Amino acid sequence: MKPALALLLALLLPAAASAATPAGPGPQAIDATVRAAIARYHLPGIAVGVIEDGKVVFARGYGETVHGSGDPVTDKTLFKIASNSKAMTAAVLARLVQQGRLQWDDPVVKHLPAFAMHDPWVTAHMTVSDLLVHNSGLPEGGGDLMLWPEPNLFTRDDIVHGLRYIKPAYGFRAGYAYDNLLYVVAGQVAAAAGGASYEELVRRELFQPLGLSGCRVGEFALKDAGSVAQPHGRNGDAIVRTRGDADIVPAIASAPAGGIRCTLDDMLIWANSWLAPTDAQKAWLDEAQRAEMWKARTPMPISRLKRQWDNTHYYAYAYGFRLADVDGEWTVSHTGTLGGMYSMMMLLPDRRSGFVFMINGDGGRARTVLGEALLKLFTAPDKSLGVAGYADALDKPATTAAAKPVLPDIRRRVPVTPAQLQPWLGRWHDPWFGEVWLCAQDGAVQWRASRSPKMHGRISRVDGRELLVWDDEAVDENAWLSFSREGDVRQMHMAKFNPQGDFSSDYEDLAFTWVGRCE
């Protein structure tokens, strides 16, 4: 090569690389974006961390662990990461595959002989891989009432047994519908193959080798955990603590799907173990299993906003991660939602960059807006609408049909008397949810679940329909009740008061049959 040409290439190549991958955002831009989201959505607390080219360049807490307490959120505050736990569960399985204890294409029944889906053919053919990719045929959120509200009395064995009674919404491997129960099954597969409980495996195969010393799974004492963010909701304009932790935080059946807690420091270590793994981290999970974790498995629907904001053409679920193109760049991400706690991890692997944040308040829209605004600081800063622009766009429905449904005013509800519901009082049974009581109490009619103690409420009538309004704030969605009778068989069905309510309130999957009197 001629010296002049070599010099020209040396000068041009760095410039070309720089143009293709512009520098990431500075601390001031990150801070301003986060503060704008806090102000717009009145967040009680948030922890935010940013990685650029394999290095943590920003890690900061804002607000309080409990609103009004004065206890600050820091990078060492423990948050529920909710469904960001799914990638950790998948990584534990990947470790067991690497160790030769199981294979991704193993039938689930090889490790859990008691496992069964509604269709025997699906039972026989469902693999470990199928558990992680949301294409099983289960309805969206099917069976989630066995997980939440927590704590409840459903065990992981109950969940494995209950799956056989949940009717599919579509064909096996025929489409995408988000589920949580099969991640619980995946945790049980890991326990069977790994010879230890799910919680012990997570500590042994994940927390210890990666140095995630602040993360928690299973039972722990609140006083031993240091700074712990508590979930919050809204009562009108007021921020209120809700679903607070007891002194001893119990182990929960849902842990493999969404029950792990971590600090920001831990989440940044976890994120960087994917973006810029050290030699030790590469040994912890080899290249073959890393590739399996990030291989597209199930195509996902692309929303109008993702097309409009991100020019996304490709969206798919992998093992505990979502894959998408954003402004021509590859992203790997996931979110978490769990009763007053919201999280997001967004990775841009080609840049070895990304960000993590965790919110301890009513932050669904805040997560969407902040995630988009932070992402644009990397991928298309000149095209960003900023927090205000994305928030305003989110507030406007795309069409009249997309607007929120007009719901009856439940303040007009009239309590139902036992005499009015006399033919339907008694004990009712659903094959997977178990027994509930619909019985007279203090002149009213109360609905109470045997294995989900927080699910109790009173029956009222609104616009000629029976409405169940829950007593406990931990239950997210009120429910319509309907009754029918064919011969001696009496049935009760339920539906969400708000048809657009949280899919985990999967009342529509319940089918109760009357089995006896209240006494």
12 in a domain, yes or no?
no
Helix, strand or coil, per DSSP, at residue 117:
coil
**Same-domain pairing of 360 and 509:** no
| Amino acid letter, 411 | R
C-alpha–C-alpha distance, residues 496 and 491, integer Å? 17
pTM for the predicted model, two decimal places? 0.93
pLDDT of residue 20: 53
> pLDDT digits over 10-30, tens only?
433 343 334 456 678 999 999
Candidate from 393-397, 399-403, 485-489 with smallest mean pLDDT = 399-403
**In the listed set 394, 425, 448, which residue is the last one of a domain according to the structure?**
394
- Do 179 and 223 reside in the same domain of the chain? yes
The rounded percent of the chain whose pLDDT value lies above 70 is 95
User: Would 400 be classed as within a structural domain?
Assistant: no
Q: Tell whether 144 and 254 lie within a shared domain.
A: yes
* Claim to verify: residue 329 and residue 441 sit in the same structural domain: no
* 153 located within any domain: yes
Q: Is there a domain that residue 13 lies in? A: no
Within this chain, do residues 372 and 429 fall inside the same structural domain, yes or no? no
Do 316 and 297 contact (CB within 8 A), yes or no?
yes
Residue-wise pLDDT for 244-266, tens only, equals: 999 999 999 999 999 999 999 99
Asked if 358 and 465 sit in the same domain, the reply is no
Which residues contact residue 464 at a Cβ distance below 8 angstroms, ignoring those fewer than 6 apart? none
Do 421 and 361 share a structural domain?
no
Q: b/e map of 254-265 (b: 16 or more CB within 10 Å)?
A: bbbbbbbbbbbb
Q: Which residues pair with 426 in a beta bridge?
A: 438
DSSP 78: B
Q: Is residue 295 packed enough to be buried (19+ CB in 10 Å), middle (13-18) or exposed (0-12)?
A: middle
Quick check: is 17 in a domain? no
Both 101 and 221 in one domain: the answer is: yes
pLDDT of residue 7: 36
Quote the domain boundaries for residue 461. 410-516
Is 3 among the domain residues?
Answer: no
Specify which residues 374 forms β-bridges with: none
pLDDT at residue 339 in the model: 87
Q: Over the stretch 221-235, which tens digit does the pLDDT of each residue have?
A: 999 999 999 999 998
Asked if residue 499 has pLDDT above 60, the reply is yes
Q: Are residues 116 and 250 in the same domain?
A: yes
> What is the pLDDT, as a whole number, of residue 402?
53
> Considering the domain boundaries, does residue 16 fall inside one?
no
What pLDDT is stored for residue 243 in this prediction?
86
pLDDT band for position 8 (cuts 50, 70, 90)? very low
Same-domain check for residues 426 and 379: no
| Mean pLDDT of the 425-449 span | 98
CATH code for the domain in which residue 149 is found: 3.40.710.10
Report which residue type is found at 108.
Answer: V
314 and 342 within one domain: yes
Q: Round to the nearest angstrom and report the end-to-end CA distance of the chain.
A: 94
**404: in domain:** no
Chosen domain end from 394, 418, 434: 394
Phi, psi of 315 (to 5 degrees): -150, 125
What phi and psi values does residue 48 have, to the nearest 5 degrees? -130, 135
Single out the residue in 364, 394, 424 at which a domain terminates. 394
Mean pLDDT, the chain, integer: 94
- Kindly report, residue by residue over 325-373, the tens digit of the pLDDT: 999 999 999 999 998 999 999 999 999 999 999 999 999 999 999 999 9
Give Cα 430 to chain centroid, integer Å: 26
- Split into its structural domains, the chain has a count of 2
Give the rounded distance of the alpha carbon of 195 from its chain centre: 27
Contact 318, 297 (CB under 8 A): yes
478 and 446 housed in the same domain? yes
